[in-house]
Amino acid sequence: MQLHEAREQLMKLQAKMSAFSHAMGLIYYDGSTAAPKGTAQNRGRTLSVLSEEHYKLSTGEETVALLEYLDSEKENLTEKEQRMVYLLLRSIRQMQKIPMDEYVAYEELLVEADDQWHTAKETNDFPLFEPYLEKIFETNIRFAKYCAPDMHPYDYWLNEYEDGLTMSQCDVFFATLRSRLVPLIQKIRQKQNYIDDTCLFGNFPEHKQAEFSDKLMEVLGLDRDHVTISTTEHPFTTSLGSHFDTRITTHYIPNNFASSMYSVIHEGGHALYDTGSADDLAYTVLDGGVSMGIHESQSRFYENLLGRSRPFIWHIFPIMQSLFPLQMQGVGAEDIYRAVNRVQPSLIRVDADEVTYCLHVMIRYELEKKVMSGKLSVHDLPKEWNRLYKEYLGVTVPDDTRGVLQDSHWSGGAIGYFPSYALGSAYGVQLLNKMKETVDVDTCLKEGKMEPINRWNREHIWQYGSLYPPKKLLEMALDAPFDPSCYTDYLEKKYKDLYGL
């Protein structure tokens, strides 16, 4: 095979893999949004066929031979081609270690688990979901041992979501946050009623919230020709086949419009990142975000650093008034700003304030670590979950629906994902500090001109897709190494000002 032929085959291979991902992604998206109840088995059968064919394509002799040849010629490849070959070979070498029948069975398991999780959450029935979750953890441990027998299984999965991340690094990172945030939370608790957030609660009709979602997407600068929104139990974002087709979801709560508001802004941040990939990366392994930590840096950036800022709230407040005139009577923009930033230890992670949010993530990290280390059984997860919520946040968990069943991540097999939320939050603050050196962020937000902000993120983060490892990409954007103290400095300054500390 000539080199030019091999390079053409590389692109054709990725196009085929992208097509399989597109089809399987559509089935998952449909199952989470529009598919009727009772169809999980049908989707599972289709996915088992597609995942088997995808496995064969990914690990077949022709594919391996092609990539190994290109790897031997890497000095003659472009930077992008080198990265494509590296990522594909890494993925294939891991997949080859997993027996095909187990890989296919796991894909079927995840479809069934997601269906049972939805029912279990609706009915507060953890025992219904428990056997599926137990199999998911067992499979993740087994697959990790296949792929990296010398690594701790949890280290393996942490690294899969954030390249280079380990338990020891997480322990240091979370200890840093805990040492700064716990004293801050204690001071804020002494002023428990300092901020009134009753303006966020009332009767907010779902159809009006849906109109508000459309307005928010417009303000964020999302391309509605390539990004759409629907509803689901647990909000998420997915790109189907390429960055040209990205779907976000939200969940409307009639008596709390801020819940959906911030899920739309959060998922909108993910969508901006995905759709911001350079067009020449489409249908390749470089299309889309490089890691979940970087991805969450963008979602949390828009949700909190921008979305909970005073100038952003002042800009969108007239929209709130026009959609919810009765609910906003006697309410000002400053009232909304203070309300959406009220610190209140709570049950639900996605609705948590900036200060207590990382405690929610720490709880999940500690639970996953214990289960993956064999120190905690899946059966005992609810009890330990409830204990940690009482210890860390001082709240009593009334039921499993608002406790261990609240997140969709475990039903989707995303073990090791949660630390990315905290890392992303910290990454985002440092990126914002760097952005402010050249962009007047507050003026942009106040005037509703998001393009300068989006342009900076596109130039420094989005356009590169997965071309660079997350650490390198972050340091390129920052011209400095990652420093988690920037995050705690930001939180202390903002909330001491808010609470008059």
Query: Cα(250)–Cα(303) distance, rounded to whole angstroms?
Result: 13
Q: Tokens 């489409």 sit at which residue? A: 282
Nearest to 15 by CA among 97, 99, 82, 84: 84
Each residue's pLDDT tens digit, 214-248: 999 999 999 999 999 999 988 999 999 999 999 99
Beta strands, E only, 170-245: 227-231, 237-239
pLDDT over 90 (residue 416): yes
Per mean pLDDT, which of 18-32, 42-56, 433-447 is the most reliable?
A: 433-447
Percent of the chain scoring above 70 in pLDDT: 100
Start-to-end C-alpha separation, the chain: 70
Say which amino acid occupies 368. Answer: E
Task: State mean pLDDT over 351-359.
Answer: 93
Give ∠ CA 466-467-472 in degrees, rounded to 5. 95
pLDDT over 80 (residue 1): no
| Pair 331, 258: CB distance under 8 Å | no
Task: State mean pLDDT over 25-52.
Answer: 91
Beta strands, E only, 365-446: none
Q: What pLDDT score was predicted for residue 95?
A: 86
- Cβ count near 191 (within 10 Å): 13
Task: State mean pLDDT over 471-481.
Answer: 96
Sorting pLDDT into bands at 50, 70 and 90, what band is 371?
A: very high
Say which amino acid occupies 468. Answer: Y
- Cβ count near 264 (within 10 Å): 29
Say which amino acid occupies 499. Answer: Y
Sorting pLDDT into bands at 50, 70 and 90, what band is 376?
A: very high
Task: State mean pLDDT over 11-39.
Answer: 94
Q: Is the dihedral of CA 233, 234, 236, 240 positive or negative?
A: negative
Q: What share of the chain is helix, strand, coil (3-state, %, to 5)?
A: 70, 5, 30
Half-sphere exposure of residue 2: CA atoms within 13 angstroms, side-chain side: 3
Q: Which of 81, 160, 267, 354 is catalytic?
A: 267
263: tokens are 């899920």
Q: What pLDDT score was predicted for residue 482?
A: 93
Q: What pLDDT score was predicted for residue 486?
A: 95
Query: Cα(488)–Cα(122) distance, rounded to whole angstroms?
Result: 36
| Pair 52, 24: CB distance under 8 Å | no
Q: What is the chain's alpha carbon radius of gyration, rounded to the nearest angstrom?
A: 23
Task: State mean pLDDT over 280-284.
Answer: 97
The dihedrals phi and psi of 248, each to the nearest 5 degrees, come to -115, 155
Q: What pLDDT score was predicted for residue 424?
A: 95
Each residue's pLDDT tens digit, 157-207: 999 999 999 999 999 999 989 999 989 998 998 887 899 999 999 999 999
Mean pLDDT of the chain: 95
The residue with greater pLDDT, 156 or 501, is 156
Q: What pLDDT score was predicted for residue 205?
A: 97
Alpha carbon separation from 145 to 153, 166, 321, 330, 399 (Å, rounded): 6, 16, 55, 60, 34
Each residue's pLDDT tens digit, 285-297: 999 999 999 999 9
Q: What pLDDT score was predicted for residue 233?
A: 86
75 has catalytic annotation: no
Sorting pLDDT into bands at 50, 70 and 90, what band is 468?
A: very high
pTM of the model: 0.91
Percent of the chain scoring above 90 in pLDDT: 92
Q: What pLDDT score was predicted for residue 234?
A: 85
Q: What pLDDT score was predicted for residue 37?
A: 86
